[in-house]
Amino acid sequence: MEKWRAADRLLKFSSRFASGTKLTCTIINYDHTHPLVSECCFFPIPFYCCKSKQGKYFYSVATTVHRNPLFSIISPDDISYFKTLLGERGVVQDALALDAANTDWMGKYRGSSKLLLQPKNTEEVSQILKYCNSRCLAVVPQGGNTGLVGGSVPVFDEVIINVGLMRNILSFDKVIVSGVLVCEAGCILENLISFLDDEGFIMPLDLGAKGSCQIGGNVSTNAGGLRLLRYGSLHGSVLGLEAVLANGTVLDMLGTLRKDNTGYDLKHLFIGSEGSLGIVTKVSILTPPKLSSVNIAFLACEDYTSCQKLLLEAKKKLGGILSAFEFLDSDAMSLVSSTTFLGTENHGQEVIKDKHGQDFTSIDLRALPLEFWYSYASGSIFMENLEAFLLHSVESGLVANGVLAQDINQASSFWHIREGLPEALMKAGAVYKYDLSLPLEKMYDLVEEMRVQIGPAAKVVAYGHLGDGNLHLNISAPAYDDNILAKIEPFVYEWTSKNRGSISAEHGLGLMKAAKIHYSKSPETVQVMASIKKLLDPNGILNPYKVLPSSLLSQN
Ligand SMILES: Cc1cc2nc3c(=O)[nH]c(=O)nc-3n(C[C@H](O)[C@H](O)[C@H](O)COP(=O)(O)OP(=O)(O)OC[C@H]3O[C@@H](n4cnc5c(N)ncnc54)[C@H](O)[C@@H]3O)c2cc1C
């Protein structure tokens, strides 16, 4: 086949790679612009869960969290107030809409809210919060509801506030301070990406959920995503924001300056606080210029150590033009290639065809491990750097095998391998998922120790954003089993803590890990966080039961 013959180009680099064992695969991406990396999990915990009619499991919080009795229950007078304030459109009580807003993306967490409010501007957000605070009505800020830790849905009957109608781009300055975008918090990430594309710029943030997630949600979760390696975290690129406190006070911190050292930089409190301190209503963000070239290599290494060394080499040789460095281990690769996930019959996802009409992805997956590797030179100026890097990596034995995408379709098919993992895991049965930051040199030790710890009862599958030191650890079992869970937790949290990692690399704490924060933060730090929460939200109405342990917040 033509495309395999094209592999000769890379083959010239070395005659070393052969049919060796492929243990680890790495995706290196230069400035990719593709949607990718679904992060999903289906994480029922048997004795906490019940099964719905749709076959989904819902986390029942009743056994772990108790409704705060100080919170009021919504009354007809409250509904009348909100209708007067927002009009009929802004007050949603429809059962179907509420069902969707009460259920998280994974189908893992489910609340029972009877009210969804949709304000159209900051003033309305302010009035809503002021009223809720005076009535002691608990609220949940919700964006695109793509969060993965149970933070975006109510736990009980909290009022859901979604700023999705606030979706105006307010300004874009590409002349004076190059690339500063100011927009309302309800803008969908993908729409911002499209807008900027027309202007010759890109968002410093990209993630698989971009078609649904809102910039307000991204900021509130301090989302990491696929460009963090190159453009850094939102703590760096968000220049300012506007947020509404629990009592309705509007904090205007919507600066567009690169430098401003006038006192405490309060905007950082709202970046990553998951709606527990205020509702983000506007965002000012620095966006980089669009780059002309996108090249992706999909490489096989013989072990994790080679993969890790490859990352260091890539950083040295490719420097700032490296935008993503992902990895998946051989169990992840076999899983994604052995499931029928890539077929059309599954989830309506299209099979990826090459230009000869062949199923590119499945050929690729089956062929790549032992006999093939594949390359294509696009002629981009960066391709020379990439080729030089690959030549060196192959000659030094770091890379055993690999393919280079020859066009955007093939590039996306590489990303589909990575993107297919979460769903492949769900298809394989029950999956326990952990999102961890760990020192690179220790990262895979956890995977191996977990394999020993779990034994044959479950399969341990690892992948993640290696370039950011972020491991997605998945324990895949035929069914949910208390014995398996008992082997995973608290082991995984203790191991992470002992190695000074973080129990949440990019997804936040939400409801899932609110009570586990002490594994990553000292008691003094958590205490200061609780004090800040109490100062800004004394009644605790904003996203209760999330982020911080409820026990701490109920203390005087
Ligand atoms: C397929 C898929 C891929 C993903 N990939 C990544 C990834 O690569 N990197 C990553 O970091 N995450 C990823 N995620 C997780 C998720 O998409 C991000 O956390 C995202 O930033 C959430 O945005 P959202 O608008 O959906 O927020 P929601 O899920 O609605 O809310 C998330 C949290 O933010 C709060 N919140 C939302 N809007 C506001 C607001 N305006 N003001 C105050 N608080 C608010 C909520 O209360 C909640 O605590 C992925 C999720 C999916 C489903």
276 lines ligand 1 (CB under 6 A): no
Model pLDDT, residue 356: 41
Best residue for ligand 1 mutational test, from 221, 277, 282, 536 (most atoms within 8 Å of Cβ): 221
207 lines ligand 1 (CB under 6 A): yes
186 lines ligand 1 (CB under 6 A): no
Best residue for ligand 1 mutational test, from 125, 218, 220 (most atoms within 8 Å of Cβ): 220
Q: What is the model's pTM?
A: 0.85
Residue 268 CA to ligand 1 centre (angstroms):
17
**Which three-class secondary structure state does DSSP give residue 432?**
strand
Residue 185 CA to ligand 1 centre (angstroms):
12
Size of the chain in residues: 556
Residue 256 CA to ligand 1 centre (angstroms):
24
- The one-character DSSP state at 505 is S
Q: Which atom of ligand 1 is nearest to the CA of 189?
A: 25
Model pLDDT, residue 382: 66
The pLDDT-based confidence of 22 (bands split at 50, 70, 90) is very low
Cis amide linkage into residue 456, ω under 30° from 0: no
Asked if residue 339 lies in contact with residue 310, where contact means CB atoms within 8 angstroms, the answer is no
Most confident of 315-324, 374-383, 431-440: 431-440
Q: Which atom of ligand 1 is nearest to the CA of 36?
A: 3
218 lines ligand 1 (CB under 6 A): yes
**Cβ-count burial of 550 within 10 angstroms (0-12 exposed, 13-18 middle, 19+ buried)?**
middle
Q: Percent of the chain having pLDDT more than 90?
A: 54
Q: How far apart are CA 375 and CA 463, in angstroms?
A: 23
Q: Which residues pair with 525 in a beta bridge?
A: none
The structure tokens listed for 176 are 């004076």
CA dist list (Å): 369 to 25, 310, 474:
9, 18, 22
The pLDDT-based confidence of 28 (bands split at 50, 70, 90) is low
Least confident of 62-76, 212-226, 503-517: 62-76
Residue 149 CA to ligand 1 centre (angstroms):
9
Q: Which residues of 432-453 are buried (b: 16+ CB within 10 A; e: fewer)?
A: bbbbbbbebebbbebbeebbeb
The pLDDT-based confidence of 175 (bands split at 50, 70, 90) is confident
342 vs 510, residue with greater confidence: 510
Q: How far apart are CA 231 and CA 538, in angstroms?
A: 36
pLDDT at 62 over 70: no
H helical segments located in 115-266: 122-135, 189-199, 215-221, 228-231, 234-237
Asked if residue 214 lies in contact with residue 220, where contact means CB atoms within 8 angstroms, the answer is no
Q: How far apart are CA 332 and CA 361, in angstroms?
A: 15
40 lines ligand 1 (CB under 6 A): yes
The structure tokens listed for 105 are 């993306």
Q: How many Cβ atoms sit within 10 Å of the Cβ of residue 45?
A: 18
Model pLDDT, residue 354: 36
Residue 121 CA to ligand 1 centre (angstroms):
21
Q: How far apart are CA 294 and CA 317, in angstroms?
A: 17
Model pLDDT, residue 370: 31
The structure tokens listed for 417 are 């391998």
Give the E-state strand segments of 93-184 in sequence order: 116-117, 139-142, 159-162, 169-173, 180-184
The pLDDT-based confidence of 293 (bands split at 50, 70, 90) is confident
Euclidean distance between the first and final Cα of the chain, in Å?
71
Q: How many Cβ atoms sit within 10 Å of the Cβ of residue 110?
A: 22
Asked if residue 50 lies in contact with residue 58, where contact means CB atoms within 8 angstroms, the answer is yes
Q: How far apart are CA 488 and CA 508, in angstroms?
A: 20
Residue 546 CA to ligand 1 centre (angstroms):
14
Asked if residue 108 lies in contact with residue 42, where contact means CB atoms within 8 angstroms, the answer is yes
Model pLDDT, residue 481: 86
The structure tokens listed for 373 are 């590797």
The pLDDT-based confidence of 349 (bands split at 50, 70, 90) is very low
Q: Kindly report the protein residue whose alpha carbon is nearest to atom 1 of ligand 1.
A: 38
Sheet architecture: strand order including 116-117: 91-92, 116-117, 159-162, 139-142
Model pLDDT, residue 303: 83
62 vs 521, residue with greater confidence: 521
**Average pLDDT taken over every residue of the chain:** 81
Residue 213 CA to ligand 1 centre (angstroms):
6
299 lines ligand 1 (CB under 6 A): no
Q: Kindly report the protein residue whose alpha carbon is nearest to atom 8 of ligand 1.
A: 225
Picking from 212, 210, 199, the residue whose alpha carbon sits closest to that of residue 172 is 199
Q: Kindly report the protein residue whose alpha carbon is nearest to atom 19 of ligand 1.
A: 147
pLDDT at 282 over 90: yes
Q: Which atom of ligand 1 is nearest to the CA of 224?
A: 11
Residue 476 CA to ligand 1 centre (angstroms):
24
The CA dihedral of 434, 437, 439, 445, to the nearest 10 degrees, is 0
**Which three-class secondary structure state does DSSP give residue 140?**
strand
Q: How many Cβ atoms sit within 10 Å of the Cβ of residue 414?
A: 27
Residue 195 has φ and ψ, to the nearest 5°, of -60, -50
**Which three-class secondary structure state does DSSP give residue 502?**
strand
pLDDT at 39 over 60: no
16 vs 254, residue with greater confidence: 254
38 lines ligand 1 (CB under 6 A): yes
Radius of gyration of the CA atoms of the chain, in A? 24
Q: Kindly report the protein residue whose alpha carbon is nearest to atom 37 of ligand 1.
A: 217
368 lines ligand 1 (CB under 6 A): no
Least confident of 63-77, 113-127, 215-229, 330-344: 330-344
222 lines ligand 1 (CB under 6 A): no
422 lines ligand 1 (CB under 6 A): no
Best residue for ligand 1 mutational test, from 104, 124, 146, 507 (most atoms within 8 Å of Cβ): 146
Quote the crossing angle between the two packed helices 360-367 and 408-428, to the nearest 10°.
Answer: 70
Picking from 326, 306, 146, 305, the residue whose alpha carbon sits closest to that of residue 229 is 326
Give the E-state strand segments of 186-305 in sequence order: 238-244, 250-253, 279-286, 295-301
Model pLDDT, residue 342: 40
pLDDT digit string (tens) for 214-229?
999 999 999 998 789 8
**Cβ-count burial of 264 within 10 angstroms (0-12 exposed, 13-18 middle, 19+ buried)?**
exposed
Average pLDDT over every residue of 247-257: 97
The structure tokens listed for 29 are 């991406």
Model pLDDT, residue 25: 55
**Which three-class secondary structure state does DSSP give residue 554?**
helix
Average pLDDT over every residue of 129-143: 98
